[in-house]
């Protein structure tokens, strides 16, 4: 379903409002759908998914790097440019307003944390400060040899280019690799343990825009529910997680999240 097929304005589920009214700790887990309305393609949606055009196994993997690292680097440079040109959407902008809206309704302080699978920086640019990046960042390359953080030599090219040699590490002269998690690689330890802690400690987990097919991230909603937390999902279509959460709200990130803030504000008083 596309954003235009989602009822507008959507009806905010009463159960979600009730759970948020009582929450002291809200965690939001996001996936590529969160940035879709900013013009950043998702990975698995038909027609416009990035990987309709490129084979992810070839590009986002050690094997792909071994075969043609210039092509892999060029692909990530293209994605870096795409994200730089994108703007946070209404969903990104609504998230930092959620804590205030819940707090005003409930009369108590609310802590909101984000766990994202996205390698873009749209949450941060949208005003969120507490963001755990499970899959790394397009903007933090590191040395393939010595592992130290590296620097881009300039902006990404304006036009997509098929091959770009990765820059050299200024410490050891090795080549830089993208600072993202590739297929077959483990998540950064600190990010994963922080994410586990957050879903263990939260009252409500809101899952936004993920297909729920990539592990271990997809385990977090299941873990939260097993620990007695309320788990809700925002997604215009059903995902692998829809049967595992308490409620699937059929709406998009940029429609549903601002609507949620408005609904909370309307309940005050």
Residues forming contacts to ligand OAD in the complex (CB under 6 A) are 3, 31-33, 36-37, 42-45, 49, 60, 117, 135, 180-181, 208-211, 213-214, 234-237, 239, 252-253
CB of 185 to ligand OAD, least distance (A): 8
Q: Among 92, 133, 135, 248, which one carries the catalytic annotation? A: 135
Instruction: Give 93 or 181: the residue with its C-beta nearer to ligand OAD.
Output: 181
Strand order in the sheet with 111-116: 131-133, 111-116, 25-30, 204-208, 230-234, 247-249
Instruction: Give 102 or 208: the residue with its C-beta nearer to ligand OAD.
Output: 208
Backbone φ and ψ of 23, nearest 5°: -75, 140
Backbone φ and ψ of 194, nearest 5°: -65, -45
Instruction: Give 8 or 22: the residue with its C-beta nearer to ligand OAD.
Output: 8
First vs last C-alpha separation in the chain: 36
Biggest alpha carbon distance in the chain?
62
Cis previous bond, 9, omega within 30:
yes
Q: Check if the beta carbon of residue 82 is closer than 8 Å to that of residue 31.
A: no
CB of 106 to ligand OAD, least distance (A): 26
Per the annotation, the verdict on 133 as an active-site residue is no
CB of 214 to ligand OAD, least distance (A): 4
Alpha-carbon distance 239 to 230, whole Å?
A: 18
CB of 48 to ligand OAD, least distance (A): 10
- The residue with its CB nearest to ligand OAD is 33
CB of 51 to ligand OAD, least distance (A): 8
What are the residue ranges of helices labelled H in 86-138? Answer: 90-106, 122-125
Give the tokens for residue 247: 């409620």
Q: What is the DSSP letter of 233?
A: E
Instruction: Give 45 or 113: the residue with its C-beta nearer to ligand OAD.
Output: 45
| β-strands 230-234, 247-249 pairing | parallel
Instruction: Give 104 or 124: the residue with its C-beta nearer to ligand OAD.
Output: 124
Q: What is the DSSP letter of 5?
A: G
Alpha-carbon distance 22 to 77, whole Å?
A: 43
* Active-site annotation, residues: 135
């Amino acid at each position: 379903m596309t954003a235009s097929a989602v009822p507008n304005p959507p009806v905010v589920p009463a159960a979600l409002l009730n759970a948020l009214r009582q929450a002291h700790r809200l965690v939001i887990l996001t996936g590529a759908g969160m940035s879709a309305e900013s013009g950043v393609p998702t990975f698995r949606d038909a027609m416009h998914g990035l990987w309709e055009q490129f084979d992810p196994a070839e590009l986002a993997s050690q094997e792909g790097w071994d075969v043609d690292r210039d092509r892999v680097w060029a692909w990530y440079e293209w994605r870096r440019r795409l994200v730089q040109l994108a703007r946070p959407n209404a969903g990104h902008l609504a998230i930092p307003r959620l804590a205030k809206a819940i707090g005003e309704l409930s009369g108590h302080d609310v802590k909101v944390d984000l766990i994202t699978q996205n390698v873009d920086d749209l949450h941060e640019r949208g005003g969120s400060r507490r963001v755990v990046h499970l899959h790394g960042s397009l903007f933090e390359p590191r040395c393939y040899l010595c592992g130290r953080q590296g620097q881009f030599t300039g902006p990404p090219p304006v036009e997509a280019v098929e091959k770009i040699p990765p820059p050299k590490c200024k410490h050891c002269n090795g080549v830089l690799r993208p600072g993202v998690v590739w297929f077959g690689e483990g998540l950064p330890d600190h990010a994963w343990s922080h994410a586990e802690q957050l879903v263990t400690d939260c009252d409500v987990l809101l899952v936004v825009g993920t297909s729920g097919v990539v592990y271990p991230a997809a385990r977090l909603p299941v873990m939260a529910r097993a620990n007695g937390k309320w788990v809700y999902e925002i997604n215009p279509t059903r995902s692998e997680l829809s049967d595992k959460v308490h409620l699937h709200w059929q709406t998009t990130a940029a429609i549903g999240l601002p609507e949620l803030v408005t609904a909370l504000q309307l309940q005050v008083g």
